[in-house]
Chains A and B, each alone.
Chain A
Amino acid sequence: MITFTDKGIYCKQGNFYIDPWKPVEKALITHAHSDHARYGSKQYLCHKFTVPVLRLRLGEIDVQAIEYGEKLYINNVQVSFHPAGHIIGSAQIRLEYKGEVWVISGDYKLSNDLLSTPYECIKCHHFITESTFGLPIYQFQNPQFIYNDINHWWRTNASEGYNTIVLGYALGKSQTILHSLDKSVGNIYLHGAVANINDSLGRVGFHFPGKRVSEENNKLKIERAFISAPPSALNTTWLKKFQPYRIAMCSGWMALRGARRRYGVDKGFVLSDHCDWQQLNDAVAGTGAEDIYVTHGYETPFVKWLKEKFGLRAHEVKTFYSNEESGEDL
């Protein structure tokens, strides 16, 4: 039912693509990260929470919204979206045709970030999974512990007279962190990129603390505050107005000392919107699928592992998805 083409993941029977990286007629979008949601397709279909951010990024597009669990038929292919737990509105796309079931999971995580709808395990025959952190060196703590650490660090910094800047991808991580901040510690400020996303999500009922730092309130005295910004803000003059500050990066890559040193930040929080090794294994086992297609990340070792350890038919699939956690804004 599914083929991997140079435009993206293609469903021939339904004549649509999932997260295509080139313009197509009909694109089903798992989530609004820009490597999965690209410009130029005629028609988009995505979860209703994804719509405003998709519009923010792609402009005026023809987009249809769908609810989790809602069933839709496209050329006799049954299509439904299910929570992927990656970010707000992120979905696994389930396709069924003549009894054959595929799940294209996009990006996902099993741990609960307290904000996005938690991952739902969907039984299927064919499962397409990412492998961003598909090596056993990646063992992530529960996000709630990390939120505690972040709050604690903010409190310490504030008591020593420092501002606290936390870098995380503007869509996803920034919101989960803001959602779990202890607002009693001090004021919260937002980088424009984060504020834009927050405004969009406000249209579908999500509201986050924090004030946008803009030209108008540039002269504002900012002290002992929390500042949420994307990784691209690192090493820019924008940070100057927050001096003195301490700065941290939130990403799964922060598990590695080398990555922490590469960013040259004061602190690295291991907080990810992706599965760690254990979660990937649990997800694959949970679907009961016998054919596993492994995309962006550590495809080769994860495929080999699935074959050797579980006797699954695992396949490496080359895609053009990168990953937002590498720190560059896409």
Chain B
Amino acid sequence: MKLFTNLFNEIDSSTKTNIKVEALVHYFQLVSEEDILYAIALLIGNRPRRPVKTSQLKLWAAEMSHIPSWLFDDCYYIAGDLAETITLLLKEHPSSHNESLHDVIKALQQTALLSDEEKKNVITNYWQRFTGNELFVFNKLITGNFRMGVSKQLVVKALAKFLQSDETKIAHQLMGKWNPAEETLATLFSDDITADKHYQPYPFYLAYPLEDDIHTLGDINDWILEAKLDGIRGQIIYRANELYVWSRGEDLLTDKFPEFEKLKNSLPAGTVIDGEIIPFKDNRFLSFNELQTRIGRKNITTKILTEVPVVMVCFDLLEWNGEDIRHQPLSYRRELLENVVKNFNENKILILSQSLHFDKWNEAANYRINARQYGTEGLMLKQKNSPYETGRKRGNWWKWKTGPMTIDGVLLYAQSGHGRRANLFTDYTFAVWDEQKKLLPFTKAYSGLTDKEIIEMDNWIKRNTIEKFGPVRSVKPYHVFEIAFEGIAESTRHKSGVALRFPRILRWRKDKHAEEANTVEELRSLLKNNNHE
């Protein structure tokens, strides 16, 4: 744990990638094989199950620091992070142990079978032995939100260096949810990956948003343009008589989407399709909201399956007849894909992502501006001869999203932030005017202001509070903000009748008075105009 904590400190105190990579390589060289495997799993987000409930941790930590639970909650609210709160509350003890990372994780995993009282003993025992940053790292492990300032790409880089291997290969070998307890370096980084691990997806190729002028991309005929749809990016894998559905977040979603199971009857062995999983019924796409509700359900009932059925809109083919074809040009892969969708498509559950034809970039630009009318988020631009790359890369693929919708809202409630913004009022609730000239809250938004603006706003809020409800304050209706959002859907859970997708503050409209903010009618008209039939 000490070496792992040192690694954490080094990574935490640096913003330079080469220092982080060096620190990782150095760590891999120092520790045992088991520790390396557990560390990789942690670093790339392949976290162990939480050994105890958060509510229990809170209870024990409050008890150990001799404070009531309401005070614990207040502290948690300010620190914004459970692991940090517990670390700050527990008095410092001299550190006395020499357990390694995998010792600790294994011990934690074994608590699953223990009684609550025994679990408490294990945890509080550790609390007495760890101190400072080590205590913090330990608490991060037990609260299950361990995150170290390294991206997966960085870990891949360090491993490639350490194992003297190739980054693309390592990225592929790390895909999916593997269990460090069941792997060795040899099995995890085995060369023959498709044979040994037929369930493993390929690393997704992700596009950057287009920043430059569209004309810098050259001849439009060198590009394949597709509608950008709002669903769940995923891979369908059919190998060795098994079908798997993976999400971009590397969650195995096979059980969530039983409708794809039928593809077993039609797809040839060794097929991997990349696409977007979208709710689709009576020949039209449903809103993302409905897909979200479906994902949230524990059990997939027949009712859900008939109410919100899904399809995959396919845009790439990564493996065909058991052969990795990612290095082939996109035009070639698409040709094969068209064949798959046409001839191996049980129940028509696969839909081909149409390539859109425009003669000029200006026509494409027009489509993008009006994308919402077509029920899309804009365009995906892909070079015809591009290979299927690994991770987020510039150059061959771009996403070209349509602009967000906007509405002017009045600041009505403020709440102090967490973590980076503890002690500052940063979480705002905005309202629009209703028919009775009353303010109707319609959304919360956090990000979007500069640190300077946040401090200015914070000062104003403290001086213009009307009422306090716990951590929330209602303020004088005065300031107007332009709120941007990506989608709008009907909602019975919200007073305003709408739910926004990705709302954020676009700018502070100091030029506007509260009376000049938008109305609920204007908000609802956005709902009508921006949801295609």
The chain A residues found within 8 Å of chain B, CB to CB, are: 135-139, 253, 255-259, 261-262, 266-267, 298, 301, 304-305, 308, 320, 322, 326, 328
Are A137 and B85 neighbours in the complex by a CB distance under 8 Å? yes
Q: How far is the CB of B14 from chain A (nearest CB, A)?
A: 9
Most buried by A among B81, B89, B423: B423
Q: How far is the CB of B474 from chain A (nearest CB, A)?
A: 16
Give 9 closest A-B pairs by Cβ, nearest first: A258-B419, A137-B88, A258-B420, A301-B74, A137-B75, A262-B420, A135-B75, A261-B420, A258-B422
Given the complex of chains A and B, what is the CA–CA distance between A305 and B72 in angstroms?
11
Given the complex of chains A and B, what is the CA–CA distance between A323 and B75 in angstroms?
19
Given the complex of chains A and B, what is the CA–CA distance between A261 and B421 in angstroms?
10
Task: State the interface size on chain B (CB cutoff 8 A).
Answer: 27
Given the complex of chains A and B, what is the CA–CA distance between A258 and B81 in angstroms?
9
Apart from A137-B85, A301-B71, what are 6 other A-B pairs with CB-CB below 8 Å? A138-B88, A256-B78, A257-B81, A257-B84, A259-B422, A305-B71
Are A262 and B84 neighbours in the complex by a CB distance under 8 Å? no
Are A258 and B80 neighbours in the complex by a CB distance under 8 Å? yes
Binary A-proximity of B396-433 (CB < 8 A = 1, otherwise 0): 00000000000000000000001111110000000000
Query: Which A residue's beta carbon lies closest to that of B451?
Result: A262
Are A139 and B88 neighbours in the complex by a CB distance under 8 Å? yes
Q: How far is the CB of A227 from chain B (nearest CB, A)?
A: 20
Q: Which of B438-468 contact A (CB under 8 A)?
A: 451, 455, 459, 463
Given the complex of chains A and B, what is the CA–CA distance between A253 and B91 in angstroms?
18
Q: How far is the CB of B423 from chain A (nearest CB, A)?
A: 7
Are A304 and B89 neighbours in the complex by a CB distance under 8 Å? no
Q: How far is the CB of B407 from chain A (nearest CB, A)?
A: 29
Are B419 and A257 neighbours in the complex by a CB distance under 8 Å? yes
Is B123 among interface residues, defined by CB-CB distance under 8 A?
no
What are 17 A-B contacts with C-beta separation under 8 Å?
A: A135-B75, A136-B71, A136-B88, A137-B88, A256-B78, A256-B88, A257-B81, A258-B79, A258-B419, A258-B422, A259-B423, A262-B420, A266-B13, A298-B74, A304-B71, A320-B463, A322-B459
Which residues of B have CB within 8 Å of A135?
Answer: 71, 74-75, 78
In the complex with contacts A258-B419, A262-B421, A266-B13, A136-B65 CB distance below 8 A: yes
Query: Which B residue's beta carbon lies closest to that of A328?
Result: B455
Q: Which of B89, B418, B419 contacts A136 (CB 8 A)?
A: B89
Which residues of B have CB within 8 Å of A326?
Answer: 423
Are B78 and A137 neighbours in the complex by a CB distance under 8 Å? yes
Are A256 and B79 neighbours in the complex by a CB distance under 8 Å? yes
Which residues of A have CB within 8 Å of B422?
Answer: 256, 258-259
Which residues of A have CB within 8 Å of B419?
Answer: 256-258, 261
Is B68 among interface residues, defined by CB-CB distance under 8 A?
yes
Q: Which of B469-509 contact A (CB under 8 A)?
A: none
Which residues of A have CB within 8 Å of B85?
Answer: 137
Given the complex of chains A and B, what is the CA–CA distance between A259 and B459 in angstroms?
18
Are B74 and A256 neighbours in the complex by a CB distance under 8 Å? no
Most buried by B among A136, A261, A320: A136
Query: Which B residue's beta carbon lies closest to that of A260?
Result: B420
Are B420 and A308 neighbours in the complex by a CB distance under 8 Å? no
Which residues of B have CB within 8 Å of A258?
Answer: 79-81, 418-422
Q: How far is the CB of B71 from chain A (nearest CB, A)?
A: 6
Which residues of A have CB within 8 Å of B423?
Answer: 253, 259, 326
Binary A-proximity of B60-99 (CB < 8 A = 1, otherwise 0): 0000010110110011001111001100110100000000
Query: Which B residue's beta carbon lies closest to that of A141?
Result: B92
Which residues of B have CB within 8 Å of A328?
Answer: 455
